[in-house]
A and B are shown apart, each in its own frame.
Chain A
Amino acid sequence: MSFFLRLAIFALSLFTITAGPVAAQEPIRIGVLLPLTGPFAKNGLENWEAMQIARDMINERGGVNGRKIEYLQGDATNPNAAISETERLITREGIKITTGSFASPLAIAVSQAAERNGVFHWETTGAAEIITRRGFKHTFQVGAPARKYGQAAVDFVVEDLAKRLKKPVADLKIALLWENRAFGKSVGDGIRAYVETKKIKLVYDEGYDQFATDMTPIVQKLKDAAPDVLIAISFPNDAILFQRKAKELNLNVAAFVGVSAGYSSPDLRTSIGDMVNGIFVADFPPKVNPNVLKPETRKVADEFYKRYEAKLQRPPAGHAAAGFSAIWALFTEVLPKAKTFQPDELREIALKLDLPEGSLVNGSGIKFTNFDWADDTKDAGQNLRASIGVWQWTKQGNEQVFPPKLATHEAIDVPMPDWNKR
């Protein structure tokens, strides 16, 4: 048996040697790791649609230097499956580039498997700080680190809301509520550290379990704390539960800032109706002020939004737009400059990238850290120019309100009317 196997492997190696010269026309194969089943499936599938649109668009433009892009898909339902699927794509399919993976725990797992096999991982949206804090050489996180979400929310409160609420920043009562998973905890930690530098004290700071089915104790505690501004990091299911409970128990805050997935999902309005109006969301901008984009980027952006809406009958959420932006940058900024497509070469190219904000479809730029970030010298492969802004749910849709440069609208409904007046 062993003899035949060796013979087969020998034949195979001969084949690959002879196949070498024609390799230029072969497609570039990329492993896409996203949660397609299980609890994260909703956002994972939306991201997958966005990625497919990116692939179709690049292939219709003739691919990368004449080579088409081909995806191989892995179902990263949970971290263990993410590792197995990454290993499978790398070892069985010979993938040298992986991307994905939407949620932070999955990103941690996928990058772990990729790094161990010396594979280049281009993370699109995972945000937990630890992703780029493990001394990995080939993991690049194009999305913002968790702390940026928190900083955007706090900056917005300090620079914009305080004036509208007519209160000095030091007197503002801010409450922080986070879902106890990698992303929620990481953003929560970031906010806690950041408000300290601003000399603000949190009047409430607690995490809750992802399987919570009753929000009564949390809402009651918040009523006791009576904050002016509530910053909440939630996933869709618990965001809906929380808003309903807040209405039921008549918890009124002057401003509500939600962070990411739970509050930025376009279906939030279908779920809770007009209750969304006035909520602020700190996240990737779903659609930025087109004036900040470079002209050629604007064209790509328009095409992406058109295709996505045609396919899914709704505009993309911030994370889907971010997934597209990141993968498009890989196609147009990294791969065309590669010759060998070896991870070390791709790493060099990625580290040299210096794109100003407005270069990517969602308004971000790219500049990666390489153990040289003043904030944290352990950090490598983190994109410092991912833009996180704040937008607001309005009666008609949503409008970017912060930072002023990206804004399409001024914040309205501050302070928010009480529940019985809505």
Chain B
Amino acid sequence: MTAFSQLLISGILIGSIYALMSIGLTLVFGVLRVVNFAHGEFLMLAMYGAWGITQVLGLNPYWGLIAIVPAMFLFGAIVHRLIVQPALDKPHLVVVFATMGLSIFMQNVALMAMSADLRDVPPVFAQSVIIGPLYFKAELLLGFVVTLVCTVALQWIIRKTYLGKAIRATVQDGEAAMLMGIPVPHIFLITFAGGSALVGLAACIMLPLFSVFPTVGLNFVLIAFVIVVLGGMGSIEGALLGGICVGVVQSLSGYYIAPAFGQMFFFILFLLVMIFRPNGLLGQKGAANIGMNS
């Protein structure tokens, strides 16, 4: 029983970290209808940035947030202007391959600039939090709280603010929104840049938990894709739910079946959800049918 509770709660905690890293992707996915295949490399870049700050200033990585989040917002805006925006009115595959090219580009620039060494920061908190027989890393608990706050805050922005309303209008009907005077290209830019800023946030939370190296994105990008689609395209609470599902499935299947199968079980879960609920767990009806022609 102890083992089960430990696995379940650890799965939820790590799953929330996965969710945090995926929220940016789901936002972009939901609003622009594009898959950013360089998402993992955005994470890699932001983690290197946060690592650099800890090295130069000797601060713990959470302080890096102050610089990394705006920097990633700017980076996202530049990438959007140079690569994503020009691809939006072209066939769907263009943006897929353009971002994939960006992913290879960033990986290898990182390799040239930073070498293939693993970079790490020392733990922020010296000891685990102990609750009865269960143990949790304080950094994980903090990540869980940040994810919850972030989800609620984003929901509030989307539901209550003018920007949120404009984003929702754009999602529902881009042309009508344009006619209503909503600057749709700006909404796209802000969404993409905002999504990148969220990756920056996730990177600072993840740095004490994972090493950073040029191909670190590859370890996480498939998880992020699964979470985004599982939760339902563009659904922020869906991403949270999807992340937790992935975390728990990973943790329980590794314990009760075998760790050698790695990510196989949540890929199977993903395919099952796709067969029976093609709109994802919390996606809007018809989301899956938004296809190639849009």
Contact = CB atoms under 8 A, between A and B. Distances in A.
Determine direct contact between A and B, CB below 8 Å.
yes
Interface of A: 37-39, 41-42, 44-45, 180, 206-214, 216-218, 220-221, 223-224, 236-237, 240-241, 244, 247-250, 267, 270-273, 420
Interface of B: 3, 6-7, 10-11, 14, 108, 111, 115-118, 120, 122-123, 127-128, 130, 135-137, 140, 209-211, 213-215, 218-220, 223, 247, 250-255, 258-263
Closest 7 CB pairs of A and B: A209-B262, A217-B254, A42-B116, A41-B116, A217-B255, A208-B259, A271-B120
A250 B118 contact: no
Given A216-B14, A248-B136, A211 B262 contact: yes
Contact of A42 (B128, B213, B258): B213
A220 B250 CA distance: 13
Contacts of B209: 244
A237 B251 CA distance: 19
A44 to B, nearest CB: 8
Given A216-B14, A220-B6, A270-B120, A249 B262 contact: no
A214 B249 CA distance: 11
Given A207-B259, A244-B209, A273-B122, A218 B135 contact: no
Contacts of A250: 128, 130, 135
14 contacts: A39-B215, A180-B262, A209-B262, A210-B262, A216-B14, A216-B254, A217-B254, A220-B6, A221-B255, A236-B211, A247-B128, A249-B128, A250-B128, A250-B130
A186 B95 CA distance: 42
Contacts of B140: 248
Contacts of B252: 217
A240 B118 contact: yes
Contacts, number: 114
A212 B259 CA distance: 8
A44 B11 CA distance: 34
Contacts of B10: 214, 216
Nearest to A42: B116
A330 B122 CA distance: 42
Contacts of A220: 3, 6-7, 255
A213 B259 CA distance: 11
Given A37-B108, A249-B128, 20 more contacts: A42-B116, A42-B118, A206-B259, A207-B259, A208-B254, A209-B260, A213-B250, A214-B11, A214-B254, A216-B255, A217-B251, A218-B254, A236-B118, A241-B210, A248-B135, A249-B6, A267-B117, A267-B118, A271-B120, A272-B120
Contacts of A271: 118, 120, 211
A73 B247 CA distance: 42
A45 B247 contact: no
B260 A420 contact: no
A164 B259 CA distance: 32
Name the residue among A44, A209, A420 with the largest chain B CB count within 10 angstroms: A209
A240 B117 contact: no
Contacts of A249: 6, 128, 135
